[in-house]
Every structure is written in C-alpha cells, then in structure tokens.
Amino acid sequence: MNKSKLSVLMENKYFRFALSVLISFFLWFMVSYFISSEYSVPIRNVPITITSTSYTNYGLQISSQSLQEVSVTIEGDRNTVGSVKAEDIIVSPSLSSVTSPGTYELNLTASKANPLAAFTITSISPSSVTLKFDVSEQAMFSIETYISGINIPDEFITGTITTAPETITVWGPAEDVNRIDRVVVRDSLEGTQTETQTIRCNISYLDSEGNELKLNTVAADVQQAEVTIPVLKRGELPIRVEFVNVPRGFNTDTLRYTLSMHEVLVAGQASLIDTMNTSVVGYVDLSSLDPSVPVVFDLILPAGITNLTGNDTVTADFSESNLESKIINVTDLRFENIPTGYTAEYQQGSINSVTVVGPRDELESLQSTSVIGVVDFNEFTLQLGGSTAAVSFRIPSSDSCWVTGKHTALISVEADS
C-alpha cells in the first residue's frame, strides 16, 4: 500500500524541524500582536512649547533657546500608540525658577494634549533645554523707504513717496532690540510707470553696519508697510479772476488789469491734467475796489492738483488801467418794482459823497445827474412807514464807470387809500 505524500514528508526529520520553527514563529507573532498589551514607540519632532509666561512678571523676555524639538517615548496598546502624532504631546520647560536675567538649563515635562488618551509618556530626549532670558525693552523707529526702478516719461514727475505707517514700535529682549539701528522697507518697480503705485513691503531690521538682522525674539506692532509712489503728469492750468457786485449795464471787459501769472505749472493724475479747464482763483468786488491797491488772492487749486511754481498767491493789479475816482452827490433817486397798491417816497433829496470809479476822460465829463440811485423793492422787504433801504446805482451814459461803497437812503412807504 502506497503512503501519502504528507506521510512521507512527516517522516523526514528536516521537514519536521522546519515546520516546528514556522509554527513557533506564528504562535509568537499571535501572542505578541493580539495578547501583549504594552508597546513602546518614540514620537519624534515634538515641539517645545512655552506654556507659562511667569517670567514676564519680572520684565524678562526669552532671547535664545538651545533646541526647538525633542523626541518623546510613549507606551501603550499597539493600535493606540501607532496613531499618536507630535501634536498629541505637549512638552514644556518649568519656568518657576526664572526671576532675573541669565541663562537657565530647565527640565522638560511632557503631557498629553488629550488627558484621556490611552497611552503613557515614559521619557523625553533630551530631557532639558537651555533658555537665555534678558530684560524686556521697547523702542520706536521711523520707517525708512527705499524704492528702486522708478522709470517715468518726461512729462511726468514723482510726488513725495509716503509710507504708512511712518513709525514702528518693537519690543523684546534688550540685547536684541538694541541691535536694531534702522528699520527699512525696500522694493523695486518694473517697466515704465504712468500711474501712482501703491505696494506692500515687508519690514526689515538693520544693524549699525547696514546688515539685515533676523530677530525671532523681537515682536512689532506691524509686519508690513504700505508705500505710495505718486506718479503725476505735468501741465499748465490757465487761471483768471471774476467780478462780483457788477452794476447793471457795466461791461467788465473794459477793465484793464494784469495778473501776476496767467498759467500755473501744476501736476496731478493724468486723468485730471488732461481734462482740466481754466480755474477761477478769486473774485474782485467792484463795490470796494480801489484801483491803486493790488488785489491779492490765495492760489487755491482744484482737488488733486499740485502747484509746482512755489507761489501760493496771485495778484490782480489795476494800477495801469487809467482808472481814477470822483466824488459826487447823486440827486436822481428812483424806485423800481414798487408793489401794486403802495406808494414810496425818499425822505432825503440826495445821496452825498458817492465815489465813482472809471477812466479819467469819462469822469471829467461825468455830472451828478449822470448817476441814478435806485431802491429796488425786489431786493427790499416792504415795511410801511419810514425805513432805511440799500441803494444801487446806474450810470446809463457809461459802461466803464461804476460806484464803489455801500449807500442807504431813508424812505417811507404808504398803502394807497
């Protein structure tokens, strides 16, 4: 009777040895994986966290730290510890002994981020960290701005570059803060600029030799600054004056005067410069004009337009206009626009000492009867009885003479019976 192949193999002592080894390994693996409850693994790159700020009560700051991460060994169920990550563990130094500036070697302690997590912390490597503490200091610096690559066409200019904020406040260990000599922002533009540029720049700290400092222990109220580079187009803005309190029938074109400038060299955004029109810089009041005294106006330009001349006033000079003045008594007094049902009368026969200004040749032939005094009821609140009313003047025979000053007359108004 033939034996089975298995029986033959089992009679082979080498096969029996190999089989026993395989069964033993399998049994060991099963026991280790499913029966053993404790398993130890290292968790690397666990960050050191400063959880206490007690040192700040003594006016201190951390100026240096010997290491940032450690390895932590944990123990627990294989399935549990296999899923633990660095962020599940908190490692921090004990800072209770830190009360004054100096270098301290501090023991590290580790705890679970989730106290209910089913693993045990068994060791930390390294088990201590060296921290240096310095007196905390605060300082304020002006932010210096350096922008390169500004390239504009000939008809453009750059305005004053501004930085916001203009200052920065920093604080940290005195040793590090005192290394800062200047605070700067730097950038470079590309291409040709025809419009105002606004860019955000990172802030850099420089020492006294101009070297950039990397200060991880220094904090600041801002990390960036906004730099504005105005790019403005140049142009010439025509200016003129206008006249107010112009008598009826008076032709202002007959006035000869000179302006200290007729155009102002200006700059502004291209859209404004390309569309700007003649600007009125002031108003000449004919009722108070003295031709011998120049009229000075503040040069106020439209919004967004910058004056490049350096002159902030414009003068209107009437001294070469051949104007003189003459004082007369006006006897021709009239009313205009009297309401229906009312009668008005002057309570005086003339208005005296009226100053008339005009060309010399016209004033020579001007008579008191050439000037008419008028009370216009469209410009007067009707009152019964006696009252004082403002008087305006007409000079029908001339369109280049006018009356200066303000005059009133006593009148009376009665309702018709």
Contacts of 31 (CB under 8 A, 6+ apart): none
Q: At 249, which helix (H) or strand (E)?
A: none
CA dist 217 and 152 (Å) reads 41
Render pLDDT for 74-125 as a digit per residue (tens, 0 to 9): 999 888 888 999 999 999 999 999 999 999 999 999 999 999 999 999 999 9
Asked if residue 44 has pLDDT above 90, the reply is: yes
Please check whether the domain covering 136-229 is classified as CATH 3.30.565.10: no
Render pLDDT for 122-159 as a digit per residue (tens, 0 to 9): 999 999 999 999 998 999 999 999 999 999 999 999 98
Render pLDDT for 254-299 as a digit per residue (tens, 0 to 9): 888 999 999 999 999 999 999 988 899 999 998 888 888 899 999 9
Same fold, 136-229 and 233-317: yes
**Chain mean pLDDT for the chain:** 89
Domain covering 42-134 in this structure, CATH number: 2.170.120.30
Which of 330, 406, 328, 324 is CA-nearest to residue 358? Answer: 324
Q: Is the distance from CB of 383 to CB of 343 less than 8 angstroms?
A: no
Q: At 203, which helix (H) or strand (E)?
A: strand 197-206
pLDDT for the residue numbered 217: 86
Render pLDDT for 351-382 as a digit per residue (tens, 0 to 9): 999 999 988 888 988 888 899 999 999 988 88
CATH classification for the domain delimited by 324-415, as one of 3.40.50.1000, 3.40.50.720, 3.40.50.1860, 2.170.120.30: 2.170.120.30
Q: Is the distance from CB of 373 to CB of 351 less than 8 angstroms?
A: yes
Asked if residue 347 has pLDDT above 90, the reply is: yes
- Of residues 175 and 417, the one with the higher pLDDT is 175
Render pLDDT for 7-34 as a digit per residue (tens, 0 to 9): 665 666 666 677 677 877 776 666 555 5
Domain coordinates of the chain in residue numbers?
A: 5-35, 42-134, 136-229, 233-317, 324-415
**Sorting pLDDT into bands at 50, 70 and 90, what band is 1?**
very low
DSSP code per residue over 31-42: IIIII---EEEE
Q: What homologous superfamily does CATH list for 233-317?
A: YbbR-like domain (2.170.120.40)
